[in-house]
Structure 1
Amino acid sequence: MWQVLALRPTNRQDDSPARVVESQVVMALFLALVDPDIARQMLEDLQPRAELVGAGSGGIGREQWVNAWALVDTRRALAIAERETAAFKAREEGRQRDYVASVMSLWSLPPDELFERITLNLINCNPPEDERW
């Protein structure tokens, strides 16, 4: 059932292409907790449109993209995190963002805390800095 829902195409006319991709990233984040193989397939299918993540108005950004990969493919997640960190530094001179540290923080969590952390970060709650991923 999850696979059918997760991999179905969307035809909604009121969503921008970026919003569609971002909503699928969010679905992959949660799905990774119960079925990482399906979540990985979703992310692989989204790869050609990955540049749209962060371009929508939903507040979903590159951090969620990197963290979704972190939950399904450790090796690929590190490569993506390094690439995203370099891109951020090039885009945002003077500002720092270390996606590798975010991934490592996520990996350090016990499995029973992952759902809560993902949810808190998505609803834009601001846990203490040392608890953010």
Structure 2
Amino acid sequence: MGIVNRNRHDQSASAKITTVRYLAAGLAFTSQAIHLWILPEAFVVTLLPGLFFLFVGMSQGLLGVSLLFRPGKWTLGIGILLNALIVTVWITTRIVSLPAITGSAQLNIDLAGIGAAVAEIILVLLLLKLLAAKR
């Protein structure tokens, strides 16, 4: 009887982790879509933000695909660092004026940026949960 309950518990935990992985993948793809949507405008402003958006879009896409196929600890760790860095850069460029890098005196806070930042913050939390489940 105890083995049956343990198997049910293991299946239930596995199903929850799978749901978290798919939700995290969806958020990574959402972030990717937002960054690639902003990409042409970023390239018009200056090259550096354009390259940053291209790197972020490609990285989020790779992370999303990896999340669909059971990522390892390294992938989860890099995903956490990447998304924390993206959110930090977004907040910093909204507070501090960096015209040489951003091409404008101060960047606006827009709906797309807020959406991407919220998706990335939630993604970091989900990746932390997945990393804890790996241990």
Larger gyration radius, structure 1 or structure 2: 2
Compare relative contact order (CA 8 Å, sep 6+) and give the higher one, 1 or 2. Answer: 2
TM-score normalised according to structure 2 size? 0.30
TM-score normalised according to structure 1 size? 0.30
